[in-house]
A and B are shown apart, each in its own frame.
Chain A
């Protein structure tokens, strides 16, 4: 457990360190690095770009993944397993493959790498997250409730809105938050297809190639708090289901 928590703990601790050198023992008690991080133009721009990418990709991923999850659960068709596996592949394959193959498309179509390409890369991965989450939720959801609603005269849309949606919305919300957290720190795919507008992880990455400054720790701590919140919400709704399945 110490092994698992140690890296995150030191990032958070050293973001309050007075000296710019991350030496032992830490001397705590300053918010200097946080204000410096927010004055750093690159970091702020990166955060803005990341927020745009996360918001857009999560929205598209839910808009495509949610119906797909319902359809996979409800219909049988030839090649269903292959279809399902293909959709989940981007989550399983290394980010390098996703980024590299998308870049070959850009190169052969002579398009410039851009935030749009980053959004496509993230969305492709997040659809897999949503579809997996849908499969988990729907597997334990009692279909007879839907049948009951339809026997009582509700059409498909009313059934979905009043019966299915209230039961799955927590899980979808959780998946969206998890997706936002994943998108916010996605690096492997992003660095292949990123253009001029760097996202936050790319700014941090190029900083890391030179040296670690405590500003990075401050940014890291902010992202850490966000992912902590996102993941605890997700695990409250989603992970418990996953384990119970």
Chain B
């Protein structure tokens, strides 16, 4: 006991060691193994390890895979844009318009969003199906002459469902940053004559920008990596890259190819995760260059000068 008390590094080791070991075995090592498999080849249903780029070559030269990759990226961007477009007004409404019981509202939204992945899909299938609620309602009102099955199994249905699923990840970061926007800054802008829209566009959104960026990235990742909803509510013929990866393993066809698609997807997701940082860095750089161009002598920011004075 005394030995442990005397050495802080030993305490750190005891606390962090298990997590480090778990992470090494079940986070790092599997990725390594996937990379290794992506460079192997299949010979007569057996894996043969070698340094081969065959699978990656297949992915980037065969239009089946490039098209699927493009489709997944495009769909991810659409889902990200839509879920931000819904989350931002909702978060703004709860943060700035709701005066009392803000957390009840927040809780209600969170509860609605975290209902569960499959449950959400089941629900939308009941809503959109041939005999389902929406088609039935529209028939009753008289917009449709007979119930339609055309609402399900297409790209629109898939995007609706994925936006719903993605909002659970995009709403929370956006709401958190909106909570941090000081109300008095909005009041100050109002006093200086900015109308409500200018207050939102020039004060609130730039301050909330990073949360919105993170929310968008989460939504993109959810849609990009989803291989279940595309086959259950989308058009199975135009699923995405994730489905191709899953089916290589499901049908035991070509494991190295499946692993290679996985590796490509990891790269895309990591790039997406780095996006907010890259954008912020670029914006700072552009800002600095602009300021530098305007005032070549005084490039320093205000803060050190005031503290020196």
The answer to whether A232 and B107 touch (CB under 8 A), given A94-B269, A242-B176, is yes
Name the interface residues of A81-118: CB closer than 8 Å to any CB of B: 83, 86-87, 89-90, 92-98, 100-105, 107-108
Chain B residues with CB below 8 A from A95, complex form: 225
A92→B33 contact, CB < 8 A: no
Does B265 make an interface contact (CB < 8 A)? Answer: yes
Chain B residues with CB below 8 A from A11, complex form: 119, 122-123, 126
Does B75 make an interface contact (CB < 8 A)? Answer: no
B112→A8 contact, CB < 8 A: yes
A104→B119 contact, CB < 8 A: no
A86→B175 contact, CB < 8 A: no
Name the interface residues of B247-283: CB closer than 8 Å to any CB of A: 249, 255, 258-259, 262, 265-266, 269, 273
Q: How far, in Å, is B270 (CB) from chain A's closest CB?
A: 9
Interface size on A, residues (CB 8 A): 85
Does B121 make an interface contact (CB < 8 A)? Answer: yes
B116→A227 contact, CB < 8 A: yes
B225→A94 contact, CB < 8 A: yes
B112→A4 contact, CB < 8 A: yes
Chain A residues with CB below 8 A from B70, complex form: none
Does A124 make an interface contact (CB < 8 A)? Answer: yes
A104→B107 contact, CB < 8 A: no
Does B124 make an interface contact (CB < 8 A)? Answer: yes
Name the interface residues of A146-168: CB closer than 8 Å to any CB of B: 155-156
Q: How far, in Å, is A13 (CB) from chain B's closest CB?
A: 9
B119→A7 contact, CB < 8 A: yes
Q: How far is the CA of A212 from the CA of B1 in the complex (A)?
A: 59
Stretch at the interface among A27-35, A36-44, A66-74, A137-145: A66-74
Chain A residues with CB below 8 A from B125, complex form: 208, 212
Q: How far is the CA of A96 from the CA of B30 in the complex (A)?
A: 13
Does A172 make an interface contact (CB < 8 A)? Answer: no
Tell me the nearest residue of chain A to B218, going by C-beta.
A92
B16→A71 contact, CB < 8 A: yes
Chain B residues with CB below 8 A from A181, complex form: 114, 116
B11→A64 contact, CB < 8 A: no
B126→A187 contact, CB < 8 A: no
Does B37 make an interface contact (CB < 8 A)? Answer: yes
B22→A127 contact, CB < 8 A: yes
A217→B19 contact, CB < 8 A: no
Does A58 make an interface contact (CB < 8 A)? Answer: no
Does B5 make an interface contact (CB < 8 A)? Answer: yes
Stretch at the interface among B189-197, B226-234, B301-309: B226-234
Q: How far, in Å, is B256 (CB) from chain A's closest CB?
A: 10
Chain A residues with CB below 8 A from B129, complex form: 22, 212
Name the interface residues of B109-165: CB closer than 8 Å to any CB of A: 109-127, 129, 131-133, 135-137, 139-140, 164
B103→A240 contact, CB < 8 A: yes
The answer to whether A201 and B118 touch (CB under 8 A), given A83-B20, A93-B269, is yes
Q: Of A96, A216, A242, which one neighbours B227 at CB under 8 angstroms? A: A96
Tell me the nearest residue of chain B to A216, going by C-beta.
B122
Chain A residues with CB below 8 A from B113, complex form: 4
Q: How far is the CA of A132 from the CA of B158 in the complex (A)?
A: 30
Size class of the contact patch on chain B:
35 or more
- Which of A10, A65, A72, A245: most chain B CB closer than 10 A? A10
Does B36 make an interface contact (CB < 8 A)? Answer: yes
Does A239 make an interface contact (CB < 8 A)? Answer: yes
Q: How far is the CA of A15 from the CA of B34 in the complex (A)?
A: 42
Q: How far, in Å, is A30 (CB) from chain B's closest CB?
A: 16
B115→A8 contact, CB < 8 A: yes
Does B216 make an interface contact (CB < 8 A)? Answer: no
Contact with A along B198-231 (1 / 0, CB 8 A): 0000000000000000000010011011111001
Q: How far is the CA of A127 from the CA of B8 in the complex (A)?
A: 24
A185→B118 contact, CB < 8 A: yes
The answer to whether A24 and B123 touch (CB under 8 A), given A5-B112, A188-B228, is no
Q: How far, in Å, is A228 (CB) from chain B's closest CB?
A: 6
Q: How far, in Å, is A196 (CB) from chain B's closest CB?
A: 16
B122→A217 contact, CB < 8 A: yes
Q: How far is the CA of A105 from the CA of B19 in the complex (A)?
A: 19
Does B23 make an interface contact (CB < 8 A)? Answer: yes
Does B179 make an interface contact (CB < 8 A)? Answer: yes
A71→B131 contact, CB < 8 A: no
Interface residues of B (CB under 8 A from A): 1, 5, 8, 11-12, 14-16, 18-20, 22-23, 26-31, 33-34, 36-37, 47, 86, 103, 106-127, 129, 131-133, 135-137, 139-140, 164, 167, 172, 175-176, 179, 218, 221-222, 224-228, 231-232, 242, 245-246, 249, 255, 258-259, 262, 265-266, 269, 273
Q: Mind listing 9 A-B residue pairs with CB under 8 Å? A: A3-B86, A24-B133, A71-B11, A97-B265, A100-B245, A181-B116, A186-B117, A243-B103, A244-B179
Known: A3-B86, A104-B30. 12 other contacts (CB 8 A): A7-B119, A7-B120, A24-B135, A24-B137, A71-B16, A86-B23, A104-B262, A105-B30, A127-B22, A223-B119, A224-B115, A224-B116
